[in-house]
Structure 1
Amino acid sequence: MKPISINLDELDSTIDDKILEQAFGEKSLGLIIINQMPKDYLSLRDKVLKSSSILANLSDDILKLLEIKESIYLVGWSLGKEKLENGNFDLLKGSFYINCSFFKDSKLEGPNLSDIESFSEFKSYTIKNQWFDSIKNKEQIKQLEELKDFQKDCKALINYILQIGLKLSEKLDSYIWSHVNKEDYYSKGYLPYIVKNSTTTKARLLHYFPLKSIKQNDFDDNLWCGEHVDHSCLTALTSAMFVDESEAISNGLENDKDFSGLYIQISTNKEKLRIDIPRDSLVFQIGSSLQEISCNKFNAVRHCVRTSKSMKNLNIARNTLAIFMQPNLDDKINKSENFAQYSLRILKENH
């Protein structure tokens, strides 16, 4: 079974329902690969993914300033706050979380004031972005020199990907609408609406630390990231960049099949399938919110990140960017919960 792929320019024309069925239908993998991304995307991807290694190697005192406890560490920097399936806290990867409201309005760094007031207890989604404004110490500012364009580059890349996500969501909308029932919570135009207008969409810049630096008891079963589903409607994933951190941190390596990879669980037989994402490609996959809203007509993709034994003695990190396109906080997604209640329940289980 192979993932369905299309070229970027195909999103500007009609996509046959057969392709959408093969990518997202009942017996599908639940994802699609978009190929032939242009050079300006590749340039932004390289800048942002290299910056993930630079960020993760900042001094602890700076990283501490980029944490926000009240957000359950889902704004700014986060390391060791998320629980793995075995109950241990995850020390294998660091994350920098970014609210993507600026896609709706370039002035926004989080939800608008009315949402903040209405959902004051849901700080994971209502606290505005934590960039480097809180860092005032001159010595600390020096460490940030290589990240002077970090905010600009991240926003540019996120906006670029979300624009593609919007095009894909417009193609998907009619297909989804033809497969849901009246009692489902999906209304026509819903998916493109949330991609364009949601103020809860999150980006997660990920840095998987070199396995050489990780204690053996923190590393289980060759997994860099345990099996899970995203609680988005749709998730975008860049290809991973591997960085040899024994060399200059800016030395990005090409994706190598021997290093590690994204694996998904095939719903029909429960086997794991490696998804190879070329450097000039993006993946879009279904998350659990769309599964809830469609009353299980569309299933969230279970996935994990595996590595190989050969990686355990190497100083090679893995960097990637995920963008979770999610409903607004007050959107109803099942019989008893809006998105705020649904996501908080999941976050409390994982943190």
Structure 2
Amino acid sequence: MAATTVTLEALQTNDVPFEALEDAFGPSSLGILVVKDLPARFADLRLRLLSYASYLAQLPSDQLQALVDEKSHYELGWSHGVEALKDGQYDTMKGSFYVDCQCFYLKNPRVPVPGQPVTRGAGQNLWPSEEAIPGFRKTFEELCTLLIDIGALVAKAVDSYAEKKIEGYEKGYLENVVRTSHTPKARLLHYFPPLSRDGDSPGPESSANSAADSDEDSWCATHLDDGCLTALTSALFVDEASGLRPITDATALPKLNVLTKSPDPKAGLYIRSRGDSVVKVNIPADCIAFQTGEALEKITGGRFKAVPHFVRGPSSNDGSKVARNTLALFMQPDLDEVIDKASGLTYGKFVEMIVAKHA
């Protein structure tokens, strides 16, 4: 079973067949749509940003600590070793860098006001200095803007379908949510090589991270996204054995030993299909994938389904120093947005229910 693929042009002309949307997001689907024939600049932005992830993870500890925001519950900036795995141990095999996209995507973003409650995921972004990683912020913002713009086109296609198939569906609803939401969040991920980092930070060889041989979801446990759409780039595999060459300026592409494919063909993104079979999804490097979330399932009255998925780590520790870098962008409604018209359920209340369920 393969992921459904459409062209960017078909999205731009609103010419995606309803059958393709059902194949991508419907009850018997994998819950994922791949978009190809992207603007030429996408390839450079993807390679550049995913390369920067390796540089970010190897910044001096004091510089990384300056990017940590505990007050946001680590939903902004850098985090490592603070996320609990399904066995209760803390995840030391990957580092995350979160960015609040509304800060640069919207003309009038919401930022925290002293003394007032903080909107989930909203805040002032933390960035490494231009001297530390030249071009990092500019590349991040450009790529995320492109992803949201294309996500809005996917949302428009969903709207066209829903307006025909779902009684009472509000015209242009999902596209408006994607284009105006104050909660889009991007997560740049760096999966550390199997060896411990600099000998002082546990890597995937530690007890919390050595389950790849026995646990299929060793890199990221099976879960559902709670938003509307999640944009995903294909992963970049970097052999860091010889170290990272300095980045001379913001226009220079980082010179890394990038592998053409995963060193372990079984490692990567997997989707648990509606029939409970497990399917590995390979996203081409020149494409973007869009995955369904639980909010979209609510919005479409169950016509389109959220998809359980997980990430499987390498099957063995062979002593290599290959890192895996990728980007996910979560397109979510505002907290006061009603996602179930029949019950009046808001996205904020829905998130509270999910948190309580997993507490």
Q: Distance in 1 between matches of 2:114 and 2:344?
A: 18
Q: Partner residue of 1:343? A: 351
Paired residues of 2:68 and 2:79 also in contact (CA < 8 A) = yes
Q: Partner residue of 2:207? A: 217
Paired residues of 2:78 and 2:96 also in contact (CA < 8 A) = yes
Q: Partner residue of 2:126? A: 130
- Identity value in percent: 37
Q: Do structure 1's residue 167 and structure 2's residue 153 form an aligned pair?
A: yes
Q: Partner residue of 1:227? A: 222
* Closer/same/farther in 2, CA of residues 82 and 121 from structure 1, 3 Å limit: farther
Paired residues for 1:237-252 under 5 Å = 237-249=232-244, 250-252=256-258
Q: How big is each residue's C-alpha offset from its partner over 1:102-142, in whole Å with a ceiling of 9 and x where there is no partner?
A: 45435x6xx425xx45994345423221123xxxxxxxx6x
Q: Partner residue of 1:137? A: none
Paired residues of 1:83 and 1:350 also in contact (CA < 8 A) = no
Q: Distance in 1 between matches of 2:345 and 2:61?
A: 38
**Which of the residues 316, 327, 331 maps onto 1:321?**
327
Q: Distance in 1 between matches of 2:35 and 2:68?
A: 33
Q: Do structure 1's residue 187 and structure 2's residue 170 form an aligned pair?
A: yes
Q: Do structure 1's residue 293 and structure 2's residue 310 form an aligned pair?
A: no
Task: Tell me how far 1:228 sits from its aligned partner.
Answer: 1.0
Q: Do structure 1's residue 262 and structure 2's residue 269 form an aligned pair?
A: yes
Q: Distance in 2 between matches of 1:307 and 1:234?
A: 24
Paired residues of 1:71 and 1:123 also in contact (CA < 8 A) = no
Question: What TM-score does the superposition give when structure 2 sets the normalisation length?
Answer: 0.85
Unaligned regions of 5+ residues in structure 1, if any?
Answer: 133-140
Task: Tell me how far 1:348 sits from its aligned partner.
Answer: 7.0
Q: Partner residue of 2:74? A: 73
Task: Tell me how far 1:226 sits from its aligned partner.
Answer: 1.3
* Closer/same/farther in 2, CA of residues 123 and 191 from structure 1, 3 Å limit: closer
Q: How many residues of Structure 1 are paired with residues of Structure 2 in the alignment? A: 332
Q: How big is each residue's C-alpha offset from its partner over 1:294-320, in whole Å with a ceiling of 9 and x where there is no partner?
A: 343322111111133245532111000
Bigger mean CA deviation after superposition, 186-195 or 234-243: 186-195
Q: Do structure 1's residue 198 and structure 2's residue 181 form an aligned pair?
A: yes
* Closer/same/farther in 2, CA of residues 177 and 103 from structure 1, 3 Å limit: farther
Q: Distance in 2 between matches of 1:271 and 1:199?
A: 36
Q: Distance in 1 between matches of 2:33 and 2:10?
A: 13
Paired residues of 2:187 and 2:328 also in contact (CA < 8 A) = yes
Q: Partner residue of 1:331? A: 337
Task: Tell me how far 1:255 sits from its aligned partner.
Answer: 2.8
Q: How big is each residue's C-alpha offset from its partner over 1:207-257, in whole Å with a ceiling of 9 and x where there is no partner?
A: 111123223411222521111111110000000000111123333222337
User: Secondary structure at 1:162's aligned position in 2?
Assistant: helix
User: Secondary structure at 2:78's aligned position in 1?
Assistant: strand
Paired residues of 1:5 and 1:34 also in contact (CA < 8 A) = yes
Paired residues for 1:101-140 under 5 Å = 101-102=102-103, 104-105=105-106, 111-112=109-110, 116=112, 120-122=116-118, 124-132=120-128
Q: Distance in 1 between matches of 2:114 and 2:165?
A: 33
The letter of the residue matching 1:193 is N
Q: Distance in 1 between matches of 2:220 and 2:115?
A: 31
Paired residues of 1:255 and 1:279 also in contact (CA < 8 A) = no
Task: Tell me how far 1:336 sits from its aligned partner.
Answer: 6.5
Task: Tell me how far 1:200 sits from its aligned partner.
Answer: 0.4
Paired residues of 1:234 and 1:324 also in contact (CA < 8 A) = yes
Task: Tell me how far 1:180 sits from its aligned partner.
Answer: 3.5
Q: Partner residue of 1:95? A: 96
* Closer/same/farther in 2, CA of residues 237 and 281 from structure 1, 3 Å limit: same
User: Secondary structure at 1:309's aligned position in 2?
Assistant: coil
Q: Distance in 1 between matches of 2:55 and 2:353?
A: 33
